[in-house]
Amino acid sequence: MKAKSFRPIHFILLILLLLGLVTGGFLLSLQGNSVVNEGYVLVPTGGSYPMLLDSLGNDGDHLKNMGKFRNTAKIYGLNKAVRPGRYKLSEGMSYTDVVKMFQRGLQTPIRVTFNNIRTLPQLAGRIARQLEPDSATLAAVLLADTTAARYGFTPETMIAMFLPNTYEFYWNSSPSSFLDRMKKEYDRFWTETREEKLKTTGLSRTEAITLASIVYEETKMSDEMPKVAGVYINRLQRGMPLQADPTVKFALGDFTLRRILNRHLTVDSPYNTYRYAGLPPGPICMPSVKAIDAVLDYDQHNYLYFCARPDFSGYHNFATTLTEHNRNAQAYARALNQRGIR
């Protein structure tokens, strides 16, 4: 019997089989877990593909095999264009998953939180620790007169636009996109219900937030805030100076003062509410939402004075007459002296 000849078709089938095995093996290598260490990779604005490779490091730093990553990157064209952002490498991601994440700009948002802010430069520093723009760049934008005008504020009232909370941003958000988002949140905050309450105070939005900033500095007791706000509303309606100690601290630029003395009251500043009647030019801090709502829901009473309690509980004693207030103030002064607070 003659041996069967090896036909050309057999050779072609053999080649196709080998190619299939090679291709299948390669595709298989793109599947499965490529991530060694979970974590975040930052690609700065204007960053390049080599910078991305540098961030990923060597085999075992973030990915198991950088060679496989580079090969996959070429297939999808990642080596020609990289999108900036903050990307999360998670266990179970294949090389294809990782490459497509970078290629499509599939960032993981950052939860940006800020509160207890006194000034715009302080806000810039807080945001810079969470987003890409540096504090100097952010501060320059926040403090610019043109920025305040663009959003309908003055340089003195600009801080009123920022409501302390937690927001989601992409890491590479620009200063302008950050500000646009904050203005949207500010406008969303002023609901019809809050606008109706605002009318009862006789204040504008920024004036209400300015008063809220004083209330917030006077007491951290949220249940007492409406009562404190009521005192200041009463004084404003009667044309009385607010005589708020926190405004003196702001005027002096010294927030460490634990005791306001007569010599402090002489500072000539529009923020010194002992010398100048009415509200100061703008907020003396970024008040909490509770403090703003306390102004909108202020208690209607006859109190015109309040003084910290001598038990240092954080609460205050309220008075309708100056004589009664002076007794409360003397009791508190004695308590300060006993503790050596000068």
Does residue 39 lie within any of the structural domains?
Answer: yes
Range of the domain at 274: 192-301
* pLDDT recorded at residue 337: 87
Statement to judge: residues 214 and 264 lie in one domain = yes
Statement to judge: residues 296 and 202 lie in one domain = yes
* pLDDT recorded at residue 256: 86
* pLDDT recorded at residue 215: 98
Statement to judge: residues 183 and 209 lie in one domain = no
Residue 43 burial (CB < 10 Å; 0-12/13-18/19+)? buried
Domain total of the chain: 3
Task: Look up residue 233 and give its amino acid.
Answer: I
Does residue 14 lie within any of the structural domains?
Answer: no
In tens, the pLDDT along 5-30 reads: 545 554 444 444 444 433 444 444 45
For residues 310 and 338, what is the distance between their CA atoms, to the nearest angstrom? 10
In tens, the pLDDT along 249-282 reads: 999 998 888 888 889 999 999 999 999 999 999 9
Statement to judge: residues 79 and 125 lie in one domain = no
In sequence order, the 6+-apart residues with CB closer than 8 A to the CB of 36 are 60, 61, 62, 63, 64
* pLDDT recorded at residue 8: 52
In tens, the pLDDT along 49-92 reads: 999 999 999 998 999 999 999 999 999 999 998 999 999 999 99
Residue with tokens 């501060």: 139
Statement to judge: residues 227 and 179 lie in one domain = no
Statement to judge: residues 271 and 294 lie in one domain = yes
Rg over alpha carbons for the chain, rounded to the nearest Å, is 31
- Beta strand 165-169 with 39-43: parallel, antiparallel or unpaired? unpaired
Does residue 1 lie within any of the structural domains?
Answer: no
* pLDDT recorded at residue 90: 93
